[in-house]
Amino acid sequence: MLTFAVKKQYGYQIMAARLRFKVVDDAFKRAPVYVEQPKERPSEYFGKYVFNKQKMYKYLPAKVYKKMCDVIDNGAPFDRTIADEVAQGIKTWAIENGVTHYTHWFQPLTEGTAQKHDGFVEHDGKGGMVEEFEGKLLVQQEPDASSFPSGGIRSTFEARGYSAWDPTSPVFIIGDTLMIPTIFISYTGEALDYKVPLKKALHAVDKAATAVAQYFYPDVKKVISNLGWEQEYFLVDESLYVARPDLVMTGRTLMGHDSAKNQQMDDHYFGSIPVRVEEFMKDIEILALQLGIPCKTRHNEVAPNQFELAPIFEETNLAVDHNMLMMSIMKNVARKHGFRCLLHEKPFKGVNGSGKHNNWSLATDTGKLLHAPGKTAMDNLRFVTFIVETLKAVYDHNGLLKASIMSATNAHRLGANEAPPAIISSFLGKTVTDLLEHVEKADDDNLSMVGKKAFKLDLPSIPELLIDNTDRNRTSPFAFTGNRFEFRAVGSEANCASAMLLLNSAVAEALIDFKTRVDALMQKGEAKESAILKVVREDIKHIKPIIFNGNGYSDEWKAEAAKRGLDCETSAPLVFDNYLKEESVRMFEKTHVMTRVELEARNEIKWETYTKKIQIESRIFGDLCLNHIIPVVTKYQSVLIENVHKVQDIFPAEKAQKISKENLHLIELISDHETFIIENVEKMVEARKVANRIESEREKAIAYHDTVAPLLEEIRYHVDKLETIVDDEAWPLPKYRELLFIR
């Protein structure tokens, strides 16, 4: 039977949440109506609130429309002389849709987005107001740069920063506001966001990959980087969420004993979606489709209360914008359905964490997928070339690639419960691995590759299956999955741009180097195909340490990875050092993506962010221990002590001792746990004070990692043990068995 005796200060929250389990069939199964259900098919309302080409064609003059298409499709410079006409067309469309405000929407180095709303209003000179939106307001604004992380690039008193419109990512409408995707830079020109270096990386890989693709297809004019993200997330009842200060403050539960049942039955994965959750999913999909986000997949994930959504692949810059927008939509809509959406990589201990697999590939403007095998030897030589050079990028910068996805939150997930380990390797599967070995060793130029094989089941009504030429390896951080690479190590709350700008930059560097060597051989008289094969064979030998098709969780692999020279560091502050290694700085500067100054600034932000996250966790954890757990435990212990005294008063000594034996054992056990908690919370506070006096952000982050973070886990063990001892009626926080199961 569920009980409602809880701490008074937030007892109503737990009471309401626990009561929900009793009345769910009557009241809470039906999600509130939040999004009006469209009568049209999704294809008819897709992009309804996006100023896409269809809207441009309608609202812009023909010559302006043509110039805008050139900017979007071919990367032509934006002609500021058409800014006013573009702004006028956008304003007309926006006002027709009830818009009253506009904002430059950008992605500062906070892992979130930023916006400042301004109205379409100006004085009309006659005592009234008029709707106004000029080209200068569309193209450029000046948000205060001093209050965003800059890593020392900008002082507090140097406030000027600029946001500038990114025309390749269309403007869209949220509510009554026109959202304008923009970049964000400092007054002195350094990038203060994720979009600037991402766009530079995409330009670099376009230029480098186009040059190499033209060896095989001379008509290629452009190479596009594609991204398909898979967003995992948890949902919890809002009333339970607000009764957990740790969830509210940190996004994860800092304490909580395992539920008797969690994911061990494997019954949640791909299971029937709970009714309330499905209603939530429908609403976010409708909003997403109206905003041009091509949502395609939804399903239950492995852990209880864990789910996933995924869109169709898009151009990487647009896909990143859509993912940032989608995370915001999910959080907002969840509250309308009585949920909170948790994007933390590890909100619950002992069950799967959440990732955001980044499926990445390169495609040409002529429709060729560069990572897909072909039907001719030349096609397969192209396939092998781009596979090998991608792997060369991953191998040469494996530590840096890990740094791009490392954080205080993702560190809890990596290597645990199906997440890939914190060692970057690549799974290729037997077919591709065998092909690379053949290319390396064979004297002939036969590059034939086995396609999908038919697998016939002995069931007349079931059609034959087509078996892919690669399996899947859930423990591989960077797996080849047929026509793309799946970067599985990216965390669920991360900005995809962090991983994508690095991967595309590294691949660009590898392709630039590849072309330089091939051209040098051709200048010496080597035939093109022969020169390509010669360089590819050199690189296959070079990349062998990064290829691993086995179990990434095994201890044997950790030892083997170290022998191979792969980066095996797990401390987030030390992993961040990879950004400032000379080979990393050289790569970023060679591809014109980031300067040393920008890299140094970003690392300062990474170290500072890591410190603050552990600091917040430590502070709220200490508060929970001393002000919530210990008082309740002490009170329960007093009840046991009183019971022992009463038993001794009533029964003869021998019988009283026998009856009280179990309670005496519990009293002693509680005292041991209490003592450890109190002593080590004090120790944690002192460790924090020592770390806070360190001036270097790097050294401070290391101190927090080495001296503060471990105490969180050590103390948690004792708190979780107390949860199993103390009367359930007295325990002050919702437990895992309540948090993890939506009814």
pLDDT digits (tens, 9 = 90+) for 441-463: 865 555 555 555 544 444 454 45
**149 by DSSP, 3-state: which?**
coil
Q: Looking at residue 424, what is its pLDDT?
A: 94
pLDDT digits (tens, 9 = 90+) for 173-192: 999 999 999 999 988 889 99
Q: Looking at residue 6, what is its pLDDT?
A: 39
CA distance 560 to 568: 10
Determine phi and psi for 234, rounding to 5 degrees: -110, 150
Determine phi and psi for 193, rounding to 5 degrees: -140, -175
Mean pLDDT for the chain overall: 89
pLDDT digits (tens, 9 = 90+) for 255-305: 999 998 888 877 888 888 999 999 999 999 999 999 999 999 999 999 999
Cβ–Cβ < 8 Å for 432, 391: no
Q: Looking at residue 285, what is its pLDDT?
A: 96
**637 by DSSP, 3-state: which?**
helix
pLDDT digits (tens, 9 = 90+) for 687-711: 999 999 999 999 999 999 999 999 9
- pLDDT range class, residue 32, cuts 50, 70, 90: very low
With a CB cutoff of 8 Å and minimum separation 6, the contacts of 694 are 700, 703
Range name among 100-104, 310-314, 588-592, 661-665 with the lowest pLDDT average? 661-665
CA distance 185 to 117: 19
Does 351 have pLDDT greater than 70? yes
Q: Looking at residue 470, what is its pLDDT?
A: 57
pTM of the model: 0.91
Per-residue pLDDT averaged across 352-375, rounded? 92
pLDDT digits (tens, 9 = 90+) for 604-631: 999 999 999 999 999 999 999 999 999 9
Length of the chain: 743
Does 10 have pLDDT greater than 50? no
With a CB cutoff of 8 Å and minimum separation 6, the contacts of 689 are none
pLDDT digits (tens, 9 = 90+) for 224-265: 999 999 999 999 999 999 999 999 999 999 999 999 888 887
Per the listing, tokens 């999910």 go with: 330
Determine phi and psi for 423, rounding to 5 degrees: -135, 120
pLDDT digits (tens, 9 = 90+) for 66-97: 999 999 998 899 998 999 999 999 999 999 99
Q: Using the CB atoms, write b or e for 216-243: b if 16+ within 10 Å.
A: beeebebbbbbbbbbbbbbbbbbbbbbb
Does 685 have pLDDT greater than 60? yes
pLDDT digits (tens, 9 = 90+) for 49-62: 999 999 999 999 99
CA distance 235 to 333: 11
Cβ–Cβ < 8 Å for 485, 390: yes
Q: Looking at residue 555, what is its pLDDT?
A: 85
**What Cα–Cα distance (Å) separates residue 644 from each residue in 630, 640, 653, 658, 673?**
21, 6, 11, 11, 20
Range name among 33-42, 197-206, 468-477, 561-570 with the lowest pLDDT average? 468-477
